[in-house]
A and B are shown apart, each in its own frame.
Chain A
Amino acid sequence: MSQIAQTVQHTELRAVSMSKFLRTLRDDLEYVLLMAPAVILFIVFVAYPVVGGIYYSMTDWNGVQMNYKFIGLQNYQTFIHDFYVIVPLRNTFVFAVALTIAQNIASLALAVALESKLRTKNALRVLIFIPVLLSPLIVGYVWNYLFSGPLRDFGLAMNIQTLAHNLLSNPRTALMSATFVGVWRMVGWTMVIYIAALQGIPKELYEAAGMDGAVGWNKFRHITFPLIAPAFTVNMVITMERGFKEFDTMFALTKGGPANATEVISLTIYRESFEYFRAGYGSTMGVILFMIIIVITIIQLYLLRRKEKDVVY
C-alpha cells in the first residue's frame, strides 16, 4: 500500500518537475522571442556599422568601389598631422562649449522666470517651445535670410555697428552667430526640463529659507540650484552632445563658411565621405569624434554627479 503511494508520489513529482522544466523552457523561449527583433535590428543597423566604421578607418576605401586596401593606422597618422582638421576640431569644441553654456543659462533663466507667478506663463512656455518642432534645416535657411537681410537693415537703421553687416559672412562673428541660432532653436527643450525640475521643489523649503533670511540669489544658489542639479546634469550632457553632433543647422546656415569659420567636424566627415570620396579617412574622423564624445561625457558625468552627491537634501 505504502509502496504504491510512494510510486504514485514519485511519478507525480517527476511529472511536476517535468512540467516545470517545460514551463521554464517555454518561458526562456518566449523571452528570446521578445528580445529578438530589437537585438537583431540593433546588431544590423548600429553594431555592424560601428565595427565597419572602425574597420574602414584603417583602409583607403573611397566609399564606392570595393577594391580598397588595409593600411593600418595610416589614416590616424594623417589625422594627427592634418593641418586642415585642426580648424573644424577647434570650431566643434568652441561651438559645443559655447552652446552648452549659453543654452543652459538662457533656458534656466527662462524656466525661473516662467515658473513665477505670471498669469501668461503657460502660454509663454508653449510659444517658446515652438522652434524645437522645426526641422533644423529650415531654421538654418530662415536665419541665413534674417542675418543677410532684415537684421542687417535693422542694424543700419538703428546705427548699431555690429549688426550693420551680415554677421554670418564675417569669419570672426559667424561661429557665435551660429551658436545663437542653435540656442534659439533648442532653448525651449532644456527650459521645459528645468521647469519640470523646479516644479518638483517643495514650496515649504522656500518658506523655511525665507525664515532663515535667505533672499534672491542666495535662495537660488542654496536651495533651487542644488535641488535641480539632476536636471542640470541631464541638460549639460544633452546640449554638449548636440553641440558635438550638430550638422543640419550648420549645413543650411553657412555650409562651413566663411573661410571655414563654421566648419564643424560633422560637416568635414560628410564631405570627406560623400564629396571627396575618402570614406576611409572620413570613418577615421568619426572614430576620433566618438572617442572625444566618450571622454567628455565621462568627465561631465563624473564632475556633475560628484557635485550632486555633495548636496545635502
Chain B
Amino acid sequence: MSSINIPSILHRKSISLGRPAQTAFELFMIAFVFIYLLPFYIMVTQAFKTPQEILFNPTGLPSHLYFDNIQIVWAKMQYLRAFFNTFVLTALSVLGIAVVSAMCAFPIARGKSRAYTLLYYVLISGLLIPFYMTLSPLIKLMKDLGFMDNLIGISLAYIGRGVPFAVFLYVGFMRTIPGEVLEAGIVDGCSPLQLFWLVAFPMLVPVTTTLIILNSLWTWNDFLFPLLTIQYKANRTLTLAQYIFHGENATQWNLTFASYLICILPLLVIYFALQRNIIAGVAAGAVKQ
C-alpha cells in the first residue's frame, strides 16, 4: 500500500510546485531575463549621454536626453543610404534563394531518375563547406565578373551560397505533398512548370517563410563578405558602415552606442511585429533537419 502512495505524493509535488514556490520561480526567471538583457539598457542609455557624462556616470540613466549623438551618427554613417543598400541586398538575396531553390527542388523531389538523387547530394554537400575555404577564389571571381561594389552581383553570390540549405529544406517538404494533388494537376493538363507555379509552390508557404527569416538574419547582418566586396561609401551595408564608423570613432562611446541603437532599432520593430512567425520559423527549420 505505502509503496504505491509514496511515489504519487512525490509526483504531485514535482509536477505542480506549491503556489509560493511557483511565484518565486517566476520571479527568479523574470530577474534572470532582466539581467540577461542589461546590455540593452547600457546601449540605450549611453546613446543619449554627452561624452562627458559617459565618463563620470557610466551606468546610470542620462541626466537629460542628448539627441545630438543620433543626429551626428545618422549623417556620418549615411544611415538612410546604408539602410537602403542593406534592404535591397537582403530582399534580392532572400527572394532569389527562395524562388531559385524551390524551382530546383521540384524536379529533385518528383524525379525518379538516379541523376536527381546525385544532383541532390552534390547540392547539399555544399552545407559542409566552410566559407573561409572559398574566400580568396570567391573574391577573385567577384573581381573577374565585375561584381565588386555591385549589389545585384553580390546578391547573386548570396543566392548561390544559399542554395544548398534551401534545396535541402524544400526537397524535404515537397516530398510531403500528397501525390494525388499533383496527379490531379497533371490530369487537368498542367505542364511541369505550371504544376510547380500553380500547385506546388503555393503549398510551400510555411517553408518559404522559414527560409526568408533565416536568410534575412544571415544577409542583413553579414559582415565579412560585404567587407571584402564593397569599397565605395555609397554602396555600404549597415554592418559595414557600422564597422567603418567604429574604426573612425572607436573611443567616442556616445557616438558608437548611438550607431548600435539606430542599426538595431528597425530589426527590433520587425521582430516585435512578427515574433510569433520568426520564432516558429526558426524552430521549423531545425526540426525538419
Q: Cβ of B134 and Cβ of A46 under 8 Å apart? A: yes
B:176-195 near A, CB below 8 Å: 191-193
Chain B residues, Cβ within 8 Å of A290: 128-130, 133
**Residue A61 CB within 8 A of the other chain:** yes
Q: Cβ of A41 and Cβ of B136 under 8 Å apart? A: no
Q: Cβ of B58 and Cβ of A126 under 8 Å apart? A: no
**In the complex, what distance in Å separates the CA atom of A258 from the CA atom of B283?**
37
**Residue A72 CB within 8 A of the other chain:** no
Among the 9-residue stretches A3-11, A268-276, A304-312, the one with 4 or more Cβ atoms under 8 Å from chain B is A268-276
Q: Cβ of A126 and Cβ of B279 under 8 Å apart? A: yes
Q: Cβ of B134 and Cβ of A50 under 8 Å apart? A: yes
Q: Cβ of B191 and Cβ of A27 under 8 Å apart? A: yes
Q: Among A120, A129, A137, which residue has its beta carbon within 8 angstroms of that of B26? A: A120
**Residue A145 CB within 8 A of the other chain:** yes
B:70-124 near A, CB below 8 Å: 100-101, 103-104, 106-108, 111, 119, 122-123
**Residue B160 CB within 8 A of the other chain:** yes
Chain B residues, Cβ within 8 Å of A193: 282-283, 286-287
Contact with B along A18-59 (1 / 0, CB 8 A): 000000001100110111011101101111111011011000
Q: Nearest A residue to B289 by beta-carbon distance?
A: A234
Q: Cβ of A120 and Cβ of B30 under 8 Å apart? A: yes
Q: Cβ of A38 and Cβ of B101 under 8 Å apart? A: yes
Q: How many residues of A contact B (CB 8 A)?
A: 98
**In the complex, what distance in Å separates the CA atom of A125 from the CA atom of B279?**
9
The smallest C-beta distance from B265 to any residue of chain A, in angstroms, reads 11
**In the complex, what distance in Å separates the CA atom of A130 from the CA atom of B278?**
11
Chain A residues, Cβ within 8 Å of B220: 135
The smallest C-beta distance from A184 to any residue of chain B, in angstroms, reads 7
Q: Cβ of A146 and Cβ of B42 under 8 Å apart? A: yes
> Looking at A134, A189, A219, which has the most chain B CB atoms within 10 Å of its CB?
A134
Q: Nearest A residue to B15 by beta-carbon distance?
A: A210
Among the 9-residue stretches A94-102, A162-170, A241-249, the one with 4 or more Cβ atoms under 8 Å from chain B is A241-249
Q: Cβ of B141 and Cβ of A52 under 8 Å apart? A: yes
Q: Cβ of B123 and Cβ of A42 under 8 Å apart? A: yes
**In the complex, what distance in Å separates the CA atom of A52 from the CA atom of B160?**
16
Q: Nearest A residue to B142 by beta-carbon distance?
A: A45
Q: Cβ of B36 and Cβ of A128 under 8 Å apart? A: yes
The smallest C-beta distance from A285 to any residue of chain B, in angstroms, reads 8
Q: Among A37, A53, A61, A247, which residue has its beta carbon within 8 angstroms of that of B104? A: A37
Q: Cβ of B59 and Cβ of A153 under 8 Å apart? A: yes
**In the complex, what distance in Å separates the CA atom of A285 from the CA atom of B37?**
37
Chain B residues, Cβ within 8 Å of A141: 246, 256, 260
**In the complex, what distance in Å separates the CA atom of A42 from the CA atom of B278?**
27
Chain B residues, Cβ within 8 Å of A245: 130-132
Contact with B along A193-224 (1 / 0, CB 8 A): 10111000000001000111111100100000
**Residue B203 CB within 8 A of the other chain:** no
Chain B residues, Cβ within 8 Å of A137: 221, 223, 239, 242-243
The smallest C-beta distance from A53 to any residue of chain B, in angstroms, reads 5
Q: Nearest A residue to B243 by beta-carbon distance?
A: A137
Q: Nearest A residue to B107 by beta-carbon distance?
A: A31
Chain B residues, Cβ within 8 Å of A136: 221, 223
The smallest C-beta distance from B276 to any residue of chain A, in angstroms, reads 9
Q: Nearest A residue to B36 by beta-carbon distance?
A: A128
B:129-156 near A, CB below 8 Å: 129-141, 156
Q: Among A118, A274, A289, which residue has its beta carbon within 8 angstroms of that of B25? A: A118
Chain A residues, Cβ within 8 Å of B26: 118-120
**Residue A182 CB within 8 A of the other chain:** no
Q: Cβ of A142 and Cβ of B260 under 8 Å apart? A: yes
**In the complex, what distance in Å separates the CA atom of A184 from the CA atom of B275?**
19
The smallest C-beta distance from A286 to any residue of chain B, in angstroms, reads 3
Q: Cβ of A219 and Cβ of B14 under 8 Å apart? A: yes
**Residue A297 CB within 8 A of the other chain:** yes
Q: A126-B275, A138-B264 are in contact. Are A196 and B246 (CB under 8 A)?
A: no
The smallest C-beta distance from B261 to any residue of chain A, in angstroms, reads 10
The smallest C-beta distance from B97 to any residue of chain A, in angstroms, reads 9
The smallest C-beta distance from B8 to any residue of chain A, in angstroms, reads 7
Q: Cβ of B29 and Cβ of A189 under 8 Å apart? A: no
The smallest C-beta distance from B128 to any residue of chain A, in angstroms, reads 6
**Residue A171 CB within 8 A of the other chain:** no
**Residue B11 CB within 8 A of the other chain:** yes
B:6-46 near A, CB below 8 Å: 7-8, 10-11, 13-16, 22, 25-26, 29-30, 33, 36-37, 39-40, 42-43
- 14 more A-B residue pairs beyond the given contacts A134-B264, A153-B59, with a C-beta to C-beta distance below 8 A: A37-B103, A38-B167, A46-B134, A116-B25, A117-B16, A120-B30, A128-B36, A129-B271, A136-B223, A193-B286, A213-B10, A230-B287, A245-B130, A252-B246
Can you list 9 pairs linking A and B with CB atoms under 8 Å apart? A27-B191, A34-B192, A38-B100, A48-B137, A114-B29, A130-B37, A130-B271, A245-B131, A248-B221
The 5 closest A-B pairs by CB, nearest first: A45-B160, A52-B137, A286-B133, A213-B7, A38-B104
Interface residues of B (CB under 8 A from A): 7-8, 10-11, 13-16, 22, 25-26, 29-30, 33, 36-37, 39-40, 42-43, 58-59, 100-101, 103-104, 106-108, 111, 119, 122-123, 126, 128-141, 156-157, 159-161, 163-164, 167, 191-193, 196, 217, 220-221, 223-224, 228, 238-239, 242-243, 246, 253, 256-257, 260, 263-264, 267-268, 271-272, 275, 278-279, 282-284, 286-287, 289
